[in-house]
Amino acid sequence: MIDTHSHILPAIDDGADDLSESIGFVKKAAGQGVDTIFATPHACDGVFNSTKDNILQSCDALTDALNAKGISTRVLPGAEIRLNHDLVMEYDKGNLLTLNNSGRWLLIELPAMFMIKAVSMMIRQLKDRGVTPIIAHAERNPMILNKPGLISDFTYNGAVIQITAASLSGDFGRFSMKAAKTMAVMDQVFCLGSDIHPGRRYRMADARKKLIRLLGRTKADMITHENPAVILEEAENLFCKNQGLP
Ligand SMILES: [Fe+2]
């Protein structure tokens, strides 16, 4: 499985406190069948403003520490970027870290209240630049819970939807659980993220079981592996192109 949202980098946001906690999260993920984790610290959220350079360096350091311990789980860089007025401008300046630094996928957290038209416009502006926004934990957003039709607006404009694994187990309340299941049944979910923080349970394996029960194995595989694998393939293709490789 591929976990597309986590706070496992040490002492960079409200995620792992130190390297041993980071390694503990990765071991938990590996034990649940996760082979690739995107480390996505909070960025632009007014409290935690991790920068692209900090995240890339921290991700490399964690990878070195994992290698030294013989842990083969891949940790790839990313960021959970809070929606803000300057988001597209900051992207154009090269300040926002896309998933795997590929310039193709941006993980975006919507605030509790937002202007619907502004979000739709931001999605279209990013798509014009070849970037697909991934809307983080859509099932936990109060405006989306009140108006589930927003999901279709966002996907129509070109975004994809991520839900939190633990929402399917009810860890974020029954409304989010119901919304997550409904989105899954309606084929609106592109990928899963643990959004792991200290104090939360790592639920990727539970989520996979629940998705299999709800949708069958083929669709569960798409959400937990095949869809997010496209993020990696595009990154690898881009790397080859940049290196002049076939
Ligand atoms: Fe998060």
pLDDT in tens, 44-84: 877 888 899 999 999 999 999 999 999 999 999 999 999 99
pLDDT of residue 236: 53
* d(CA 139, ligand 1 centre) in Å: 13
CA distance 110 to 186: 21
pTM (two decimals): 0.93
pLDDT of residue 118: 94
**What angle is formed at CA 120 by the lines to CA 116 and CA 122, rounded to 5 degrees?**
115
Which 3 state secondary structure label does DSSP give 92?
helix
* d(CA 240, ligand 1 centre) in Å: 30
CA distance 73 to 60: 13
Q: What single DSSP character describes residue 14?
A: S
> The domain at 2-242 falls in which architecture?
Alpha-Beta Barrel (3.20)
| CB burial string 182-212: b at 16+ within 10 A, e below | ebbeeebbbbbbbbbeeeeebbbbbbbebbe
* d(CA 217, ligand 1 centre) in Å: 26
Question: Could you tell me the residue ranges of all domains in the chain?
Answer: 2-242
* d(CA 241, ligand 1 centre) in Å: 31
Locate 13 and state its tokens.
């946001």
Which of the residues in the chain have pLDDT under 50?
A: 239-240, 242, 246
* d(CA 16, ligand 1 centre) in Å: 12
* d(CA 80, ligand 1 centre) in Å: 6
* d(CA 114, ligand 1 centre) in Å: 18
Which 3 state secondary structure label does DSSP give 53?
helix
